[in-house]
Amino acid sequence: MDKPDWLRKAEDTLIRYCGDFSPILIEKSKGSYIYSKEGKAYLDFTSGQMCSVFGHNHDKIVQALKSASEDSIHLLSTMLSPPVIALSQQLTDLLPEGLDKCVFVNTGSESNEVAIRMAKLASGGFEVIGFLGSWHGMTAGSQSSTYSHTRKGFGPVIPGNLSIPAPYAYRCPIKHCKNTCDNTCLEVGMDMVDKQSVGAYAACIVEPVLSAAGIIELSADYLQRLKELCDERGLLLILDEAQTGFGRLGVNFGFELLETIPDFLTLSKTLGGGLPLAATITSKAIEEDCYAKGFINVTSHISDPLPARVGLAMIEILIHEKMAERAEKQGAYFKKHLLELKHKHECIGDIRGRGLMLGVEIVKDRASKEPDIELGYRISEACLSMGLSMNIVRLKGMSGVFRIAPPLSITRAEIDLGIEILDRAIEISMTNTS
């Protein structure tokens, strides 16, 4: 298909940082929709890059931006502003004891980088354990703990990074269980890294729901056992809630479902609601120890007042609009209809996830569970042509899974519309296959 003129011009001057760009040019966005240059509305089932958790251009976020632009936008990194102090207080008020001290940066990569640096300094070690299939960022430290196709072709990672299999019950990574994980993969994984370790453990970094790996949930008993194994080895547990924070799973933060308080909590995407804002949160004891040891992490936009003002608006929306409660109710409704689609379409092998973070796995047949990534691509393209923006995991060697994460403000009418389009897209794509 011929490329539109705007796309050819874009490719003349832009580095292609994610393969091919989307074939639609977006001019504006609002609520659950994005709008093309031609005025066509697209229902957004990914909340942008999973960031516009309360909907695109929420009125309170827009107002926070306007107010912030009249005060301070940026300051010297050592200088603080009232919004930054207020955000640290309000955020820690939402969290239990042991998550008491914050630092505010721009992206999830940075927030994980801060946590890893502090964990290394506090522990005196340098070895970091991560899940296969995980995604924690693109900067050096966070990328070294990211086990996806983004590792290939970019040279050596930071020494000391070790991996364990994720508890992917639908496709047991150690060929042991079927559909229900009994944590054997965790015991085997920790035994494997113990044999590889040089005795300098620092941290273990995990997501409550592995998103890029295909919406793989950790159970409460899994994370509790992982925390026990970490404590036995002197590993500090970092919980990366880039996508699971701020209500998406039906609770304010994912760790609440898992009944385990990590040593570090990292927030990004959803904290800024579409603006670049991220946070690393840890205990007073760890912060005091790192401070005494000379911890430093100065970046150009650390503690900037403008995004902090947006963070305050996000907390207000989360609480006063009961977004976690909305995610729980709307997610149950959404999942029910996805399960009905599974009953109708043989190509849907599995439906999983909770709240408004759901996964739809596309397979060639349910007996073999062989991934049908090409069919997933066709379904995605058909959805887009009919006005629905979907995201399918396209990691080499991994199954094709649609990651569905619409804004928590989504209505049931919008869910119904999305389900209708997805149903039609599957039918069209399957017909074209045959």
Question: Any idea which residues carry the catalytic annotation?
Answer: 135, 207, 240, 243, 269, 403
Q: What angle do CA 253, 267, 240 make, to 5 degrees?
A: 80
Distance in angstroms (rounded) separating the CA atoms of residues 29 and 35: 6
Distance in angstroms (rounded) separating the CA atoms of residues 71 and 307: 12
Q: How far is CA 30 from CA 6, 309, 416, in A?
A: 23, 20, 19
Closest to 204 in 3D by CA, of 254, 130, 259: 130
Match 């909305």 to its residue by tokens.
326
- Give residues with Cβ within 8 angstroms of 202, minimum separation 6: 116, 119, 120, 123, 124, 125, 126, 127, 128, 160, 235, 236
Q: Is the dihedral of CA 387, 391, 392, 394 positive or negative?
A: positive
Angle between helices 412-433 and 373-385 (to 10 degrees): 130
Which DSSP state fits 151?
G
Which amino acid, residue 198? V
Which amino acid, residue 146? T
